[in-house]
Chains A and B, each alone.
Chain A
Amino acid sequence: MEILVCVKRVPDTSENEIQVNSSGTDIERDDLVYSVNEWDNYAVEEAIQIRDRVGGSVTVMTVGDDESEEVLRREMAMGADNGILLSDDAFENADGRAVASILKAAIDKGKYDLILTGAQADDGAGQVGGMLAAMLDVPYASLVNIIETIDDQKIKVGREIAGGNQEMNEMNLPCVLSIQTGINEPRYVGIRGIRKVASVEIPTMGAGDLGLDADAVAPKVKRLDYFVPDMGEGAEMLEGSTEEIIEKLMELLKAKGGIKS
């Protein structure tokens, strides 16, 4: 099976250190570290496992700048066979839809049976997979946490829905799936793994190669600013008698959706 995984380089948010810069135009990026989007990493692991079961190849693709090559290498160190970087100055402000358009143009240049994306990214909106499927006019399922290969025509897919339940679907190939974390246990890639693939050639395609004009990648949704939702410093301490405290707390819990039943 020829599998494509679309990945993305994102700021690592594992420590709550995301801050808005002083002008509010962006997050503070000086002290950020970047890595491959966690969901994408699960998608690549899944693709590798499927390939190892049924044969074929795994290609990883990303839309980004030169530094995005780093995440392609990491995924190739995991075991992906090929990497393709889609990079062009024109792509700089691409929104989700534009990214999907770029990916679509690149996908049209190859032939893939299964296309995986991460279900979401910390700095995204969980949209690229669904858009891509619609552009390619193939079936789509999001939040996938089970994939069972049936034959070269169809696969069985489990989606994670509310309450930890599984929605099982049968899907025709080719199709696009967006992968939820926990579908597998991604293997570890250390510095050594990356160095091993350091010299592998990664082809780059730009807007010209893909036949995309500026209009096709112009963002339709523009981010105006960043701001921090009110959080405050330290806890507001509730004082008084137990009855008073509970009364106030009940009010707050109701307002914040802390009481369901």
Chain B
Amino acid sequence: MSRQVFAYIIHKDGKADDTAMEFAVAARKLDANAEVTAVVAGTGAALDAVANEVAALYKTVWKIDNAALEYPVADMVRKALVGILPKDAVVLVPHEHFGLDMAPGLSIQLDSPYIADVVDFESLDGGTLNAVRQEYSGMVSTHVACDIEGGAVITVRPGAFQADENAAAGGTVADKSGDVGDLTVGRRYLETVVAEVGDVDITKSEILVSVGRGIEDEDNLEIVHDLAKAMGADVSCSRPIVDAKWLEKSRQVGTSGQTVSPKVYLACGISGSFQHMGGIKGAPFIVAVNKNAKAPIFQVADIGIVADILEFLPELTEAVEEA
């Protein structure tokens, strides 16, 4: 019997997360011969919509519909999964706030090994999986080996696998709701308190458009906000901008400001003092735009562009908007 891989699909507002597409690719990379099943949990019409959406990507979709899962509390989802998954299941879970909540415990209850935050699958040799993960905020990577014959719970970093836009599985949805049993757990969801608008936590941002004194004037900040909006990024800055009170302190990157770990950091008119760079962790993809070709930022950036940000940024914004 071929290996059974289950991709747990998170969703919001009736739409599947991007990881749904990524996991289809990841599962094949893990084991091209595996039988891959997507699992969705929730309730009602929203869940049906997600299940149908996911069926386009996976041959089989298991649906767990339970009124208690209207808000999928991790303890509850775990209980439901333990009820239906085979012992030797290889389960893929997105490595984000829900996955972190649910997956480690699942590995214990399934008595399977747990591999966290995988960014790539290197090889599968017999039953031994060789996967790549990162440590120390992405400064170093490691290969890890694990016997997955008896199953495994693996969290996969969102965005690590490139989605296959052309995938078309035409799968079917199987309703597993009847098998999950009682979902009473010791943790009850109360409410979600939405963060105040304008109160951006740049430490959690994935893309940052960061502005330094190259912006010259407060009025010019508009071009930075425009670019950030177009890119879906947040705006951060270096100390002089905060000192000038052009942006709030919570947006300052650096040793005396916030420590950020985005995926992409676009440094605009920032010279790159080590006080500033000390606030950037996790080896993001750094693009530096600075009119001074000798600015130290170019030492640490991945991509450098010698240009006046006042001219360059509006053009970039235009290009991003068109794309």
Contacts and interface: CB of A to CB of B under 8 A. Distances in A.
- A/B: CB atoms within 8 Å of each other: yes
Interface of A: 11, 13-16, 18-20, 27, 96-97, 100, 119-120, 122-123, 125-131, 133-135, 138-143, 156, 158-172, 175, 178, 220-229, 231-232, 234-238, 242, 245-247, 249-250, 252-254, 256-261
A252 B303 contact: yes
Interface residues of B, number: 88
Nearest to B208: A258
Interface of B: 73-75, 78, 96-97, 100-109, 113-117, 130, 133-147, 155, 159, 185-195, 199-201, 204, 206-207, 230-233, 263-264, 266, 278, 281, 283, 285-288, 297-307, 311-312, 315-316, 319-320, 323
Nearest to A160: B97
Secondary structure call for the B interface: mixed
Contacts of B300: 235
Contacts of B102: 130
A48 B141 CA distance: 35
B304 A130 contact: no
Contacts of B286: 235
A168 B278 CA distance: 33
Nearest to A16: B139
Most buried by A among B105, B135, B155: B105
Contacts of B159: 257
Given A27-B136, A242-B315, A227 B231 contact: no
Contacts of A220: 113-114, 146-147
A247 B268 CA distance: 18
B186 A171 contact: yes
B263 A257 contact: yes
Contacts of A134: 78, 104-109
Given A130-B100, A228-B141, A238 B303 contact: yes
A225 B233 CA distance: 35
